[in-house]
Amino acid sequence: MASLKNIFNPRTPKDGDFFLAIKKLLSFSPKDISIYEEAFTHRSTNTTSVEGHAQNYERMEFLGDAMLSSIIAAHLFNKVPGGDEGYLTKMRSKVVSREHLNELGRDLQLIKHVKTTVPIGQFGGNIHGNVFESLVGAIYLDRGYKYCEKFINKRVIIPYVDIEKLEGKVISYKSLFIEWCQKNKHQFKFAVYEDTGNETLKHFAVKLNLDGETVGKARATSKKKAEEQAAKRAYYKLQEAIDGFSKKS
């Protein structure tokens, strides 16, 4: 009888196809394929080491996040010699935002290599970015900093890091809107005005008030998403004023 952990993804530790897929993905050969096996293993498999430690992508995700942040920071530091700490931090945040990492993971189709007992369709969108970070961590463990830098340069920096475009990219409309309100002494409030809790799929409707006037409304499956969408709509309504503030700050 096949083990439960192979139901939703039949990859096995000795699978030569997995080695070839990783080699193609990296553009160089892995030294220790078992590191990548762990990097693509979901916690639902309950895989453990001989010492009893959990073996899944979460620890490597932590390491990959740090490596990615470090390499992008070094690139920006060298690329923009006139950028101060605040500017460089903001630019790095745009590159390593959860939205962007999820996009990277989707583009590379990393999820098809994940070993899991949970159907892929049940995962949230962040699985793509999480596995991407885990892959970066695996590269560092397997081949060291230089190979990690080489991979990030090819897969992230060259295709995605355009300084001019990044300068105009908004990470969070909610954060931008709040910062603008605070600096300009405007009163704002996000308020849930409808909560369809009896529906099979729960939705929240949020309105954003600015100085007593509603400037944005949105509805989403979470309060956080609805607030972000409402702030985005408010941003486009007040774009000229907010963009003028952003360029000064």
212: CB partners within 8 A, 6+ apart: 187
User: Which token pair is 222?
Assistant: 């979470």
User: Which token pair is 82?
Assistant: 């006139």
CA distances from 172 to 69, 104, 190, 234 (A): 19, 18, 15, 12
Determine the Cα–Cα distance for residues 82 and 96; give it in Å rounded to an integer. 21
Q: What is the mean pLDDT of residues 212-234?
A: 87
Q: Around Cβ 130, how many Cβ atoms within 10 Å?
A: 26
* pLDDT reading at 197 higher than 70: no
CA distances from 52 to 47, 55, 133, 145 (A): 9, 9, 24, 28
Active-site positions read: 65, 133
Q: Around Cβ 189, how many Cβ atoms within 10 Å?
A: 12
* pLDDT reading at 141 higher than 90: yes
User: Which token pair is 163?
Assistant: 């300084």
Among candidate residues 62, 133, 50, the one with its CA nearest the CA of residue 96: 133
* pLDDT reading at 145 higher than 80: yes
Query: Domains in the chain and their CATH numbers?
Result: 4-163 (1.10.1520.10), 173-248 (3.30.160.20)
Q: Compute the mean pLDDT over every residue in the chain, rounded to the nearest whole number.
A: 85
Buried b (16+ CB within 10 A) or exposed e, 20-38: ebbeebbeeebeebebbbb
Q: What is the mean pLDDT of residues 126-140?
A: 96
User: Do 24 and 151 contact (CB within 8 A), yes or no?
Assistant: no
Res 15: pLDDT: 57
Res 66: pLDDT: 96
* Tens-place pLDDT, residues 153-192: 999 999 888 887 777 776 678 887 888 889 889 999 999 8
